[in-house]
Structure formats: structure tokens, C-alpha cells
């Protein structure tokens, strides 16, 4: 199913300094087009970071693409024997997307709750 995600990054307690919007549209059984829009609020650093950002984002997305290909290969192996899928606590999107897909396939199944879910990850 199509989907979209907004990810806000904070550096300190101020308003988000970096915002990424991703729109995902399936274009085949195992292929999805991802559109990315990035916004920054970094004051005097907006221009130099804006110049460097496209190159950095392409590198990150290429890495993500490789990770997804490896996950797909692993899922193909796992799905040879039936087993329930599980979501990790930190995967704020996965369980909701699964519930939406299940409801889309069978409207008698519960529809996921609307809302915003915030998680904090410290690096």
C-alpha cells in the first residue's frame, strides 16, 4: 500500500532542525518508488548543508536500498516456512502499516488508530 512518513530530527531542545518527508508508492510486487523531500532549519548552515545534502542523501538511500534487498532475500527464506511476522518496539511504522494492510484486505479486521507516535533514539 502507498504510505508516507515524516521524520523530525532535533539537535537540542529547539524546534526540529532537520525534517525528512518520504512518500512511498508501490510500482510492482516487490518494488516501491520512494520520493524524499528534506527541509532544514540550521541558520547560517542552511546553504552549505543544502549544497552537500543531495550527495549525502543519495549515499544513504543507496545503503538503504542494499539493506532492503538483503532483508527481502532473508524474508524470502523465512517465508518458505510459515511464521508470524513480528515488529520491534522501535519500529513505530511497521505494526501500523501491517494493520492497515490487513484491514485493506479484510475490512472486518480492526483499522489502526490514527495519530502520531513519537519515539526517542539516542545515538
Length of the chain: 123
Q: What is the predicted pLDDT for the residue at 89?
A: 57
pLDDT confidence of residue 42:
82
Output the nine-digit C-alpha cell for 35.
520520493
91 and 66 in a common domain: no
Query: What domain range includes position 8?
Result: 3-81
Residue 72 confidence (pLDDT): 82
- Give how many domains the chain has, as a whole number: 2
Please answer whether residues 23 and 6 qualify as being in contact, where contact means their C-beta atoms are separated by less than 8 angstroms: no
pLDDT given for residue 5 in this prediction = 83
Dump pLDDT digits (tens) for 71-100: 888 877 776 666 666 666 556 677 777 788
φ/ψ of 121, rounded to 5, equals: -120, 125
* pLDDT tops 60 at residue 29: yes
64: confidence class by pLDDT, cuts 50, 70, 90 = confident
* Residue 77 resides in a domain: yes
SS3 labels along the chain:
CCEEEEEEECCCCCCCCEEEEEEEEEEECCEEEEEEEEEECCHHHHHHHHHHHHHHHHHHHHHHHHHHHHHHHHHHHHCCCCCCCCCCCCCCCHHHHHHHHHHHHCCCCCCCCCCCCCCCCCC
Residues 103-120: tens digit of each pLDDT: 888 999 988 877 766 666
* CA-based torsion, 32, 72, 104, 97: positive or negative: negative
**What global pTM score does this model have?**
0.56
Same domain, 48 and 94: no
Amino acid at each position: 500500500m502507498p504510505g508516507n512518513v515524516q521524520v523530525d530530527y532535533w539537535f537540542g531542545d529547539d524546534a526540529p532542525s532537520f525534517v525528512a518527508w518520504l512518500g512511498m508508492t508501490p510500482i510492482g510486487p516487490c518494488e516501491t518508488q520512494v520520493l524524499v523531500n528534506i527541509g532544514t532549519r540550521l541558520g547560517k548552515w542552511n546553504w552549505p548543508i543544502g549544497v552537500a545534502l543531495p550527495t549525502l542523501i543519495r549515499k544513504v538511500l543507496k545503503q538503504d536500498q542494499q539493506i532492503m534487498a538483503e532483508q527481502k532475500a532473508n524474508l524470502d527464506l523465512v517465508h518458505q516456512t510459515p511464521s508470524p511476522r513480528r515488529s520491534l518496539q522501535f519500529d513505530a511504522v511497521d505494526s501500523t502499516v501491517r494493520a492497515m494492510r490487513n484491514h485493506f484486505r479484510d475490512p472486518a479486521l480492526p483499522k489502526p488508530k490514527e495519530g502520531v507516535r513519537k519515539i526517542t533514539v539516542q545515538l
